[in-house]
């Protein structure tokens, strides 16, 4: 089943800004799905529409088959959302914030207590249980927002830059917990600025730019579709005629050093060819990072 | 399956909010009521208004004013603060309908208004003996008043874009309306045009209804006051639900 099915969603804000232009996406249940794109691409708008907090101009959004313009409350019950903007809460303690929020989703009192302690522990906020939420540091406020989204064990969790401005160690804490929850069956959608995060975590990625989806693909396949691998080889022989065995993919060729940039997936072909020349002294293979692919696609 | 337990938790949050700052929300209006009573009692001592001691005339006015201010402040401040702190996203994300959100906010407003007004009544009883002539009507009136102004506060919080608009509303609308509504003196004492203006002030009907139910004196016939109070609620409640269902103005500022 699809956790999310977005069909031709467009969004034009009141001031005329077109944030989304016929966006269609599918997120399969159980996946960790990354929504990437430069600032202003429309990620938060899309997340707002999925979570029912931003109205759409046209198109349909279904959450586990529920059309969120018809069954919004039912759809919302299945969701946990971490908004992009950091939220503070003037009078309530961390515990109270979570207690009320879980209550909104119908979690009963005894279950709430247990669940709150568990989530706070996992997100290393246990010692802040009775602190007023507004006195938390920025990173702690983020983790509290993550806690709010997870507290009712939703089937689908949407996180809009949950790790922005959070240091590396805490990012790991957040992602470890999110991964654990994913293993228990929840589907995860998130946006991030840290592309290494997306690369490590997501099994599927959509890149959006200027309100349009440029690609939607499994992370591994992205590399083969758009990535370039670099081979740096040093050969023992000099003066050989590489052109004879290799085609035009050679970028640099001087003396006994070769640099080959090729579409990812083709590297074994060239390695074999190089090996036949004999005397392979040194070899380095550079795999493309998601960042390379991202930059290439967004610029194009 | 409507998520009423979720709505109850929003109500619980909004009542907890004012309990946590009880000095500001409950104690301070009671103290200012005491001050009004002392000052006016000294200033107007011995005078009769509408055929009763001034303090007995003033008391129901103060109780109603307390109902009005408490009910109005609770949702309006909560919503404006939520817009500024960003926590407004909570009620957008939560699986609650517009109706449930309005009922939760208004319900909490009523609890605060009724508790504060009742405490004010108890304090007044230390100063003077006050009979409640029509107790059923007093209870109904208190509910109608707190429901109406709670809903009005929610609507105001819905539209508010600035913190200033809160103070502006209180200073330039709520306070003058309460003066023209006959809290401190009978509207019949107003001259010419001001008496006509007063009749367009919805607060007058709530205040007059409450005063009638306490001391059996009326400026507006109580059946009319009651009708106006009920109608006002009947009109404002669907409007609030409509707005909160749309939710357009419930955004972070
Ligand atoms: N409330 C709004 N009113 C008008 N324009 C908006 C609003 N929110 C976002 N936008 C615009 O929509 C576009 C997409 O924004 P957003 O969805 O926040 O992008 P992202 O999250 O990818 O950075 C941007 O041009 C942004 O300025
Ligand atoms: Mg964003």
What is the per-residue pLDDT across A124-178, written as a single tens digit (0 to 9) for each? 999 999 999 999 999 999 999 999 999 999 999 999 999 988 889 999 999 999 9
Contact state of A81 with B93 under an 8 Å Cβ cutoff: yes
Low-confidence stretches of chain B (pLDDT < 50) are none
| pLDDT confidence band for A246 (50 / 70 / 90) | low
Q: Is residue B119 part of a domain?
A: yes
Q: Does residue B251 sit within a domain?
A: no
In chain B, DSSP finds a helix count (H) and a strand count (E) of 12, 2
Q: How would residue A224 be classed by pLDDT, with cut points 50, 70 and 90?
A: confident
**Distance between CA atoms of B108 and A177, rounded to whole angstroms?**
36
Give the ligand with the smallest distance to the CA of A39. Answer: 1
Query: Contact, A4 vs A27, CB < 8 A?
Result: yes
What's the 3-state SS for B91-153?
Answer: HHHCCCCHHHHHHHHHHHHHHHHHHHHHHHHHHHHHHCCCCCCCHHHHHHHHHHHHHHHHHHH
What is the total residue count of chain B?
253
Residue A62 to residue B197: CA distance in whole angstroms: 53
Q: Is residue B33 part of a domain?
A: yes
Ligand 1 lined by A41 (C-beta under 6 Å): yes
Domains detected in chain A: 2-90+148-223 (3.40.50.300), 227-299 (3.30.70)
Which pLDDT value is given to residue A223? 84
**What is the reported pTM?**
0.91
Provide the 3-class DSSP secondary structure of residue B226. Answer: helix
**pLDDT score of A296:** 84
| Confidence bin at A244 (pLDDT 50/70/90) | low
| Residue A251, C-beta contacts closer than 8 angstroms, at least 6 positions apart | A259, A260, A261
CA–CA separation, B234 vs B226, rounded Å? 12
A88: nearest CB among B3, B86, B248:
B86
Is A77 within 8 Å of B86 when comparing Cβ atoms?
no
Q: Do the Cβ atoms of A18 and A211 come closer than 8 Å? A: yes
**Average per-residue pLDDT in chain A?**
90
Residue A254 pLDDT > 70, yes or no?
no
Confidence of residue A60 (pLDDT cuts 50, 70, 90): very high
CA of A19 to the centre of ligand 1 (A): 6
* pLDDT class of A281 with cuts at 50, 70, 90: confident
Nearest CA in chain A to B88: A87
Could you tell me the pLDDT band of residue A240, with boundaries at 50, 70 and 90?
Answer: low
Partners of A153 on chain B (C-beta within 8 Å) are none
ipTM of the complex: 0.92
Give the per-residue pLDDT at A134. 93
The pLDDT, as a whole number, for residue B176 is 87
Residue B250 Cα distances to A122, B157, B159, angstroms: 32, 9, 8
Spatial distance between the Cα atoms of A42 and A37, rounded to a whole number of angstroms: 8
Q: What pLDDT shows up at residue A242? A: 63
Residues 60-99 of B with CB under 8 A from A: 81, 85-87, 89-90, 92-97
How many structural domains does chain B have?
1
When comparing pLDDT for A109 and B185, which is higher? A109
Asked if pLDDT for residue A278 goes beyond 80, the answer is: no
Contacts of A81 in chain B (CB under 8 A): 93
Neighbours of ion ligand 2 (CB under 5 A): A 43-44, 84
Whether B138 is covered by a domain: the verdict is yes
Chain B neighbors of A74, CB-CB under 8 A: 95
The secondary structure of B42-70 as a DSSP string is HHTTT-EETTEEHHHHHHHHHHHHHHHHH
Question: B245 to chain A nearest CA, in Å?
Answer: 11
B135 within some domain:
yes
Sheet bearing A32-36, strands edge to edge? A79-82, A156-160, A187-191, A32-36, A204-209, A212-218
pLDDT above 70: percentage of residues in chain A = 93
**What is the pLDDT, as a whole number, of residue B207?**
97
Residue A271 binned pLDDT confidence (cut-offs 50, 70, 90): confident
In a domain, residue B181? The reply is yes
Q: Note the pLDDT of residue A247.
A: 62
* Cβ–Cβ < 8 Å for A200, A184: no
Task: Write out the two tokens for B197.
Answer: 């203006």
Q: What domain range includes position B186?
A: 4-246
Q: How far apart are CA B121 and CA B114, in angstroms?
A: 10
The answer, yes or no, to whether any atom of ligand 1 lies below 6 A from the CB of A43, is yes
Task: Inform me whether the pLDDT recorded for A248 exceeds 60.
Answer: no
At residue B174, the pLDDT reads 87
The alpha carbon of residue B41 and the mean position of all alpha carbons in its chain are separated, in whole angstroms, by: 24
Say how far apart CA A43 and CA A28 lie, in whole Å.
18
pLDDT for position A238: 66
Whether B252 maps to a domain, the answer reads no
| Residue carrying the six token digits 């509910």 | B143
- Higher-pLDDT residue of A242 and A57 is A57
C-beta of A39 in contact with ligand 1 (< 6 A): yes
Token pair 């929300």 is found at: B25
Give the atom of ligand 1 at the shortest distance from the alpha carbon of A42: 17
């Amino acid at each position: 089943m699809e956790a999310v099915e977005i069909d031709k969603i467009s969004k034009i804000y009141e001031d005329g800004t077109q944030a989304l232009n016929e966006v269609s996406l599918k997120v399969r249940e159980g996946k960790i799905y990354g929504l990437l794109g430069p600032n202003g691409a429309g990620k938060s708008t899309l997340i707002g529409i999925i979570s029912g907090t931003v109205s759409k101009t046209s198109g349909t959004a279904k959450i586990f088959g529920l059309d969120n313009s018809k069954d919004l409350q039912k759809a919302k019950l299945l969701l946990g959302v971490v908004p992009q903007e950091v939220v503070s809460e003037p009078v309530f303690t961390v515990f109270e914030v979570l207690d009320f929020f879980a209550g909104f989703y119908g979690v009963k009192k005894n279950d709430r207590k247990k669940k709150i302690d568990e989530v706070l522990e996992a997100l290393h906020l246990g010692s802040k249980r009775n602190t007023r939420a507004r006195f938390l540091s920025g990173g702690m406020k983020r983790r509290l927002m993550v806690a709010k989204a997870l507290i009712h064990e939703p089937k689908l969790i949407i996180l809009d830059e949950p790790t922005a401005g959070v240091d590396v160690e805490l990012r790991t804490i957040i992602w470890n917990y999110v991964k654990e929850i994913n293993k228990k069956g929840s589907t995860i959608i998130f946006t991030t600025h840290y592309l290494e995060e997306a690369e490590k975590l997501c099994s599927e990625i959509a890149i959006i730019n200027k309100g349009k989806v440029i690609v939607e693909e499994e992370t591994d396949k992205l590399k083969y579709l758009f990535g370039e691998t670099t081979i740096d080889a040093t050969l023992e022989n000099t003066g050989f005629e590489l052109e004879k065995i290799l085609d035009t993919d050679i970028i640099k060729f001087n003396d006994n050093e070769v640099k080959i940039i090729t579409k990812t997936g083709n590297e074994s072909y060239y390695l074999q060819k190089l090996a036949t020349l004999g005397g392979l002294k040194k070899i380095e293979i550079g795999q493309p990072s998601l960042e390379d692919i991202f930059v290439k696609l967004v610029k194009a | 399956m409507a998520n009423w337990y979720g709505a109850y938790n929003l109500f619980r949050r909004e009542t907890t909010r004012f309990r946590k700052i009880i000095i500001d929300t409950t104690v301070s209006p009671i103290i200012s009521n005491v001050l009004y009573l002392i000052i006016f009692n000294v200033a107007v001592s011995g005078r009769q208004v509408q055929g009763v001691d001034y303090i007995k005339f003033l008391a129901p006015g103060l109780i109603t004013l307390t109902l009005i201010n408490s009910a109005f402040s609770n949702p309006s401040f909560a919503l404006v603060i939520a817009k500024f702190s960003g926590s407004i996203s909570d009620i957008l994300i939560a699986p609650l309908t517009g109706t449930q959100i309005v009922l939760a906010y208004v319900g909490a407003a009523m609890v605060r208004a009724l508790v504060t007004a009742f405490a004010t009544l108890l304090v007044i009883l230390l100063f003077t003996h006050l009979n409640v002539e029509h107790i059923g009507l007093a209870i109904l009136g208190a509910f109608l008043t707190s429901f109406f102004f709670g809903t009005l506060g929610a609507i105001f919080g819905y539209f508010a874009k600035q913190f200033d608009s809160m103070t502006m509303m209180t200073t330039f609308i709520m306070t003058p309306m309460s003066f023209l509504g006959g809290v401190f003196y009978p509207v019949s004492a107003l001259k010419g045009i001001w008496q006509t203006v007063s009749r367009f002030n919805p607060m007058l009907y709530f205040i007059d209804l409450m005063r009638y139910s306490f001391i059996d004196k009326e400026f507006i016939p109580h059946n009319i006051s009651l009708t106006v109070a009920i109608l006002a609620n009947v009109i404002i409640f669907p409007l609030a639900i409509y707005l909160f269902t749309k939710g357009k103005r419930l955004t972070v500022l």
